[in-house]
Amino acid sequence: MNYVFGPVLSRRLGQSLGVDPIPQKTCNWNCVYCQLGRTTPLTDRVEEYYPREEIVAEVEEAVRTHGRSKIDWVTFVGSGEPTLHSGIGWMVREVKERTGIPVAVITNGSLLYIPGVRKALLPADVVLPSLDAGSEELYKKINRPHPEFTYERLVDGLISFSREYEGQLWIEVVLLAGLNDGEESLKDLAEVIGRIGPDQVHLNLPTRPPAESWVGPATEEGLLRARAILGDVTRVFHGVEGTHDLGGYEDVVDAILDIISRHPMSEEELKRTLEEWFPGEVEEALGKLAASGKAHVVERYGARFWRGSDSTYSGSPEES
């Protein structure tokens, strides 16, 4: 498939069928922790990158292939920022109507200052925007946005959307050691979150290879501090163990590439998944994957991760 992948096992959404409506890596941010690597170049262009009818048709096909009962959510996530696709609102409405499956949108929230983008996301059952910083300075350091984007505009968009939206609004905070896990930074963030008023705040750690090799996850102490300062709406999400759905594929390499190009996997996770769906072919499959030239291994946090070859990470002796 060209635009749909999974279902993948999500920490927050169970079995999630991913929808990728934009080319990799089409984004207006260049986050230091991004699992898809660096954004080169940044773009703020909103357009119909891929035909919306083809994307929705692939969602319908995937639901038929895997079965409605095997999918908990259809999630628009993208190899970058999904709201850069001009048809995002139409696609959300059509997927809900044609499949009857709840729809989630994972977004950096940068375009929510635009009334039309806010309106486009109103039909979604849950929207998960990012907010990693409580100040302009930290926003620019962590998220490295397009030069035209400001922190004030980001926050204003989130506040406006919160007032208009009737679904679940879950703010996602990626907690990074030495960046946004200190007391002062967290108090600034708590003040902004209080103005937005989300239903939940999700604390996540960068468990997959980040774009910049110097980025590290907050410690347990940092997590505890964040929960205490950000309040009762806060939830902590650690990595989830399990396997991803590779059903519906005839070629094992295609099955893996569809996932790891958008969702890098640890070698351990990949081997578990292969053993379930292609028993007895694990080592052969990994050999074919390496030989394809479409996947590479990067080492982070003492583990090996497989990711698409199009991803660009900071130079490091750990990479291979």
Indicate the pLDDT class of residue 316, thresholds 50, 70 and 90: very low
Query: Which domains, from first to last, does the chain contain?
Result: 4-240 (3.20.20.70), 256-320 (1.10.10)
Q: Is the pLDDT of residue 319 over 60?
A: no
Give the Cα-Cα-Cα angle 176, 108, 244 (nearest 5 degrees). 80
Q: Mean of the per-residue pLDDT values for the chain?
A: 89
Q: Is the pLDDT of residue 181 over 60?
A: yes
Alpha helix positions (H), the chain: 52-66, 88-99, 115-121, 136-142, 151-164, 183-196, 220-230, 252-260, 267-277, 282-291
Q: What is the pLDDT of residue 309?
A: 67
Q: What is the pLDDT of residue 244?
A: 66
Q: Which residues contact 266 (CB under 8 A, 6 or more apart)?
A: 208, 303, 304, 305, 306
Tell me the range of 37-41, 64-68, 198-202, 205-209 where mean pLDDT is highest: 198-202
Q: Is the pLDDT of residue 10 over 90?
A: no
Q: How far apart are CA 10 and CA 49, in angstroms?
A: 26
Q: Is the pLDDT of residue 125 over 80?
A: yes
| pLDDT average, residue stretch 84-98 | 98
Indicate the pLDDT class of residue 86, thresholds 50, 70 and 90: very high
The pTM of the full predicted model, rounded to 2 decimals, is: 0.85
CB 28 within 8 A of CB 149: yes
Looking at per-residue pLDDT, the higher value among 287 and 159 belongs to 159
| pLDDT average, residue stretch 257-277 | 81
Q: How far apart are CA 2 and CA 271, in angstroms?
A: 24
Q: Is the pLDDT of residue 310 over 70?
A: no
Q: What is the pLDDT of residues 192-248, one digit of tens each?
A: 999 999 999 999 998 888 889 899 999 999 999 999 999 999 998 765 555 666 666
Residue 84 CA to chain centroid, in angstroms? 14
Q: What is the pLDDT of residue 320?
A: 34
| pLDDT average, residue stretch 163-171 | 97
Give the SS3 label for residue 239: coil
